Structure 1
Amino acid sequence: MIKKLLSCLGEYKKATALSMVFVIFESFIEILIPTLMAILIDEGISQNETSIVWQIGSLLILLAILGLFIGALSGRYAAIASAGFAKNLRKTLFFNVQTFSFSNIDKFTAPSLITRMTTDVTNLQNAYQMLVRIMIKSPVQFTFAIIMSALINPNMVLIFVVVAPFLAGTLIFIGRKVHPIFERVFRSYDHLNNIVQENLHGIRVVKAYVRQAFEINKFQNISQVVYKRFTKAEKLLAFNQPLMQSTAYICILLISWVGAHLIVSQTMTTGELSSLFVYTFQILISLNMFSMVFVMFLISRASAERVVAVMDEESDLKNNQLALKTISDGRVCFEHVFFQYPTKLGQDVLKDVTFSAKTGETIGIVGGTGSAKTTLVQLIPRLYDVTKGKIEIAGRNVQDYDMDTLRKIIGVVLQNNVLFSGTILENMRWGNPTATLEEVREACIMAQADEFIQELPDGYKSHIEQGGTNVSGGQRQRLCIARALLKNPKILILDDSTSAVDTKTESKILETFRTKMPLTTKFIVAQRITSVQDADKIIVLDNGQINDIGPHEKLLQTSAIYQEIYQAQTKGFGEANAK
């Protein structure tokens, strides 16, 4: 795990090394100062030697200034190294997430990934900065101080030899108790982020249904869980500081008692006792710093495990070594396809689905809620892989193609239409980054979007808010369709993508598909029969299985499910007209 994390240091290894070197020099200067103070007291002040006082005093001032300067440099390089480490860590995580399949994202969930790339990485950044400085300074200062104390009086070192194992054992005990709690804390953070994200995303619905109080209560409940778990961990960690202070007081009392006897017996000088007190404080401060690092380590360990889990995750979908880079046409064939979601193994969502579509054909897909219409079309561009059976495009298994090549020839308008913050032109060029304004406008004309775009004050340079919240549902759908058309795809998939568009506009869009895209194979998932009744084939899905397949007229005679849907919609339409 540590090796995996440190691989993200990259160009900041030099800053890390410089910080460590400066910390060692800073520790050496701090260790040297008490010895000089002992000389100043014993040979200068006690002997009334003014020259020695001036020489040693001047040297002490210079060392203090030099120590301050070196400490500042160490802190500067530690800050650079830790910030760079966090930057590279976020970059690595984000890059790896971009390779994830839908099933990988389902495994972690979006809120959890956000927490890992923000809160967890920040914890690791803070821990690394402490590691570079304090974790180096603490043992170096402790070792130097012990050596200098032993040179003054070896018997004094026995006090620290007795105390150190006791402190270490206590810290290990606390760590074993606290780490599992922090793991639960960060899982609670994931849940908290999920609630916040869900609330903000659906804030209009919350207000429309006057559910603010319910949402506040839900947020308070998970906040209380985070509070209780974090408090439980902090209560255990709270023993750390009093323990360190008590140990420090005991050591000082013992050294004072023993030192007084040694001075009386003239086996130790006043200067040596003074320097011994300073070394004692340095030893105790280094132990205290170590305990601080220990606490940060406990917090960051849980974060490290969560971050490394994302770094180690590999996409379920991979290219073959000899992946094909060209696709000749838009023929599609499903052969006995079964599919299970990775999170619901053992439960087939699609069962023995077999059908074919010729180049340029329009395939309609209808069925009740939960019949797996969306799942079926998501398998075509390999957003998921089949569990059993195979899907062919242009006569070859989709798994034989390079995934980028496959997805570039497929235009997909998913059920949840997403627009990104930026101009309309920038959003359209997601479909084709090199498209000219004329090409963008042509695609928008085909999607019946050009008319309302031209009415906007800035036309194609009009700004779109994140998620497309400043345009209507129908406008958002038409923009997403235009973006897909701009790819000039061999296969076009519309997953219930005209549901917010009026029937007149929808018929114009579908007519455009028929006349201007004769070689594009089109899959239209729809709730409305009018959206698919002119399709070459209509697939009727029922509980993940094909109930029937054929043109509109045939299904009206052979499919009870299709008949039921058609009659329900035409009856409602007729009653609406009658009124």
Structure 2
Amino acid sequence: MLKLFRLLKPYTAYIAAVVVLLFVQVISDLYLPTLMANLVDIGIVSKDINYILKTGGFMLLIAAGGTICAIIAAYLSARTSIGFGKIIRQKLFSKVESFSLHEFDKFGTATLITRTTNDVNQMQQVSVLILTMMVTAPLTSIGGVVMALQQDISLSWVLVVVIPVLFAIIGGTLFRALPLFKLMQEKLDKLNLVLRENLTGIRVIRAFNRIEKEKVRFDDANADLMQNAIKINLIMAALMPAMMLIMNLTTVALVWFGAIRIDSGAMQIGSLLAFIQYATQILFSLLMLVMLFIMIPRAQVSAVRINEVLETDLDIKDPHEPITVTQGKGLVEFKDVSFRYPGADQPAISNLNFVAKPGEVTAIIGGTGSGKSTLINLISRFYDVEKGSILIDGINVKDMSQKALRAKIGFVPQKTVLFSGTIAENIQYGKQDASLEEMKHAADVAQATEFILNMEAGFNHAIAQGGANISGGQKQRLSIARALVRKPEIYIFDDSFSALDFKTDAKLRAALRPEIEKATVFLIAQSVPTVREADKIIVLDEGIIAGIGTHAELLNNCRVYRELVASQLSEEEVG
């Protein structure tokens, strides 16, 4: 938690102001009972109206000053805690954005969302309490003891007995509650996971009539979270009544033994009233610490979870002195490249060697699990190779900055991803400063212009979250336009034409040829008709290259390719 509190440095002035203001408030609160004792013992006993009015007015001024200080301190504390939360969220988002796919797989989306929202909220709440109570409570406790002893030393034995009892109750409560607070965040992660899977997979759930099963899954996760929360609340529910009972018994003891001392003439009534107020202040300050101690364990768990993300060592880092990359041709070379996913027994790809040249279409084909997507992820450096090297224009991708590398690539993923916003904003995702003419040209090539202009707002048409308000084929064409507007050196089409009809597919491919004629093009597919016209076809089988060549060459010398062709095309189509 202390590591995160270092992020409060921009709010040092606010924190200093809060400490000063709360110190003034505590001093005013501690001074009031002494004034009240004087008012009773001097003013009321002697019936001195002038003294009563003078002291009472002074008490009002002090109370008003303390209240103003408390209000300003609360405002500054709130500003500080909200700013603190903003800084943590910024740090988390920046860190997660730098994750490789391995780190995403390690944490999971659900827990990353929980850590960025719920865990940060826990830190915000505890920071407010620490700023206010961490100053107020100790000062009030220590000052209360000192001021109480000034009124009467003999009654202090009551506090000596009560305070250890309170600490014992607080310690026992926290000992039982701390493990449950940790479980609370884990169970919240599980609930978020189930909820996210249900929301993103609602079509599959309904298609297979599994709504009732998913309700049971959600109810189980929800009930598990509820039971843990009930256990925590039961433990904490016993704390407050116990504290109040001790406080009331303390007041009774002080009145009882104080009355005896007043009767013997060893103490005055005003001093007893002041002593009771100081004792109440001391116990209330301890109660404030209890509230803080209730929040700190859960916040500590949240802090650990946040730090796990912030302190994660990245698998993929930019070199300390990256090579300056200029505009090149986009020549891609794989030299003895192997890669295995973390925890996997077998490598996903092994000993890949090939060259993809500018002006050529290099198609990658193979069955499910053959390593096609892995190969593409390595080019974009979403993962780092385990063995060998990938070169672009003779430069190892590890020697480039990730930004420079990915600026060379126009990527059209297999699963189309669009963002909420307008069509223009989604196309400009490929090139931030793309003009309207550039966007229109990219849309023309991607065969998207017709459906865009048929929409009332055209390029300003709003895209819903995930592109839910347009069809799969329209999403795919916008994704292609997003890559085209970038005019990169390397294009990667990862099964990017699957949602298009034959007519649109043919028109798009014809329009693409002049656009990509000077670029290096990777075309990933499982369909033979999609790749048969490629300049070079690489056939993958269980992570190794089974053959490289044109369609005609592979029919003659690659058994795996012939099997793919035979399973997809008739003899007439092959001929």
**TM-score for the superposition, normalised by structure 2:** 0.95
Cα pair distance change 1:67/1:572, threshold 3 Å: farther
Note if contact 1:506-1:531 (Cα within 8 Å) is conserved in structure 2.
no
Shift of the alpha carbon at 1:572? 12
Alignment of 1:146-545 (within 5 A): 146-327=145-326, 328-342=328-342, 344-545=343-544
Superposed displacement of residue 225, structure 1: 1.4
Between the aligned partners of 2:97 and 2:401, the Cα distance in structure 1 is 16
Amino acid at match of 1:437: L
Q: 1:549 to 1:184 in 2, by over 3 A?
A: farther
Q: Within 2, Cα distance between the matches of 1:92 and 1:573?
A: 60
Deviation, structure 1 residue 539: 1.9
How far apart are 1:70 and its partner, in Å? Answer: 1.7
Please name the residue that 1:577 is paired with.
none
8 Å CA contact 1:100–1:314 kept in 2: the answer is: no
C-alpha separation between the residues in 2 aligned to 1:188 and 1:494? 40
CA positional deviation for 1:10: 4.2
Provide the C-alpha distance between the structure 2 equivalents of 1:303 and 1:444, rounded to a whole number of angstroms: 46
Contact 1:12/1:81 (8 A) holds in 2: yes
Structure 1 CA distance, aligned partners of 2:78 and 2:515? 59
2:47 maps to amino acid? N
* Pair 1:416–1:157, CA change in 2 (3 A): farther
- The percentage of aligned residue pairs carrying the same residue is 37
| Deviation string, structure 1 residues 79-101 (Cα, Å, up to 9, x no partner) | 11111111122122112222222
* Separation in structure 2 between the aligned mates of residue 505 and residue 16 of structure 1, nearest angstrom: 63
Which residue identity is paired with 1:536?
D
CA contact (8 A) 1:8 1:88 kept: yes
1:337·1:386 contact (CA, 8 Å) conserved in 2? yes
What residue number does 2:138 align with?
A: 139
2:466 alignment partner AA: G
Q: Offset at 1:17?
A: 2.0
Aligned mates of 2:346, 2:232 — CA distance in 1: 40
Distance of 1:19 and 1:573 partners within structure 2: 84
Looking at structure 1, the residues matched to 571 and 196 of structure 2 have their Cα atoms a distance apart, in angstroms, of: 37
Q: Counterparts of 1:169 and 1:457 in 2: how far apart (Å)?
A: 70
CA deviation vs aligned residue, 1:532-561 (integer Å, no higher than 9, x gap): 111122222222222222221222233333
* 1:255-278 deviation line (CA, Å, top 9, x unaligned): 223212211211111111111111
The answer to whether the 8 Å contact 1:360/1:519 transfers is yes
For residues 515 and 277 of structure 1, what CA distance do their matches in structure 2 show? 90
Q: Distance in 2 between matches of 1:210 and 1:55?
A: 80
In structure 2, what is the Cα distance between the partners aligned to 1:65 and 1:369? 75
Q: Secondary structure at the match of 2:34?
A: helix
**What SS is found at the alignment partner of 1:548?**
strand
- Alpha-carbon distance in 2 for matches of 1:190, 1:215: 17
SS in 1 for 2:522: strand
Output the CA distance in 2 between the equivalents of 1:336 and 1:180: 50
* Alpha-carbon offset, residue 295 of structure 1: 0.2
427-436 or 451-460, which deviates more: 451-460
Q: Does 1:53 align with 2:69?
A: no
Gaps of 5+ in 1: 575-579
- C-alpha deviations, 1:262-305, integer Å up to 9, x for none? 11211111111111111111111111111001001112111111
| Structure 1 residue 345, shift from structure 2 partner | 4.9
| Pairwise CA distance, 1:213 | 2.0
What residue ranges of structure 2 are gaps of 5+ in the alignment? none
The 3-state SS of whatever aligns with 1:417 is coil
* 1:163-192 Cα deviation digits (max 9, x unpaired): 333333443333333222222221221221
- Is residue 2:46 matched to residue 1:30? no
How far apart, in 2, do the equivalents of 1:176 and 1:388 lie?
A: 50
Q: Give me the whole-angstrom Cα distance separating, in 2, the residues matched to 1:287 and 1:315.
A: 44
Distance (Å, rounded) in 1 between the aligned partners of 2:498 and 2:213: 30
Q: 1:219 to 1:573 in 2, by over 3 A?
A: farther
C-alpha distance in 2 between matches for 1:554 and 1:438? 42
Instruction: Specify the SS of the correspondent of 2:75.
Output: helix
The CA distance in 1 between the partners of 2:171 and 2:293, in whole Å, is 9
Q: What secondary structure is seen at the aligned counterpart in 1 of 2:569?
A: helix
Distance 1:115 1:572, change over 3 A: farther
> Which residue in 1 is equivalent to 2:119?
120
Q: 1:507 Cα shift?
A: 2.8
Read off the aligned partner of 1:274 and give its amino acid letter: L
| d(CA) in 1 for partners of 2:273, 2:217 | 60
Determine if contact 1:12/1:80 at 8 Å carries over to the other structure. no
TM-score of the superposition, structure 1-length normalised? 0.95
- CA drift of 1:216 comes to 1.7
**Secondary structure at the counterpart of residue 418 of structure 1:** coil
Aligned CA-pair RMSD: 1.9
CA distance in 2, matches of 1:308, 1:157: 45
In the alignment, which residue of structure 1 is the partner of 2:128? 129
Aligned residue number for residue 42 of structure 2:
43
Distance change (3 Å), C-alpha of 1:181 and 1:341: farther
For 1:346 and 1:23, how far apart are their aligned partners in 2?
A: 61
The CA distance in 2 between the partners of 1:238 and 1:481, in whole Å, is 59
Q: Which amino acid aligns with 2:426?
A: N
Say if 1:387 and 1:162 are closer, same or farther in 2 by CA, change over 3 A: farther
Superimposed CA distance per residue, residues 53-96 of structure 1 (whole angstroms, 9 cap, x where no aligned partner):
11111112222222222221111111111111111221221122
- Could you give the per-residue CA deviations for residues 202-254 of structure 1, whole angstroms, max 9, x where no partner exists? 33333344332222221111111111222223333333223322321332233
**1:289 partner amino acid:** M
The CA deviation at 1:528 is 1.5
Once the two structures are TM-superposed, the CA of residue 573 in structure 1 deviates from its matched residue by 11
> How far off is 1:504 after superposition?
2.8
Aligned residue identity for 2:181: F
Partner of 2:79: 80
Q: 2:353 is aligned with what amino acid? A: T
Q: Is 426-435 or 543-552 further displaced after alignment?
A: 543-552
Aligned residue type for 2:224 = V
Higher mean alpha-carbon deviation, 491-500 vs 179-188, is at: 179-188
Tell me: CA distance 1:379–1:52, structure 2 relative to 1, closer, same or farther (3 Å).
Answer: same
C-alpha separation in 2, matches of 1:201 and 1:543: 30
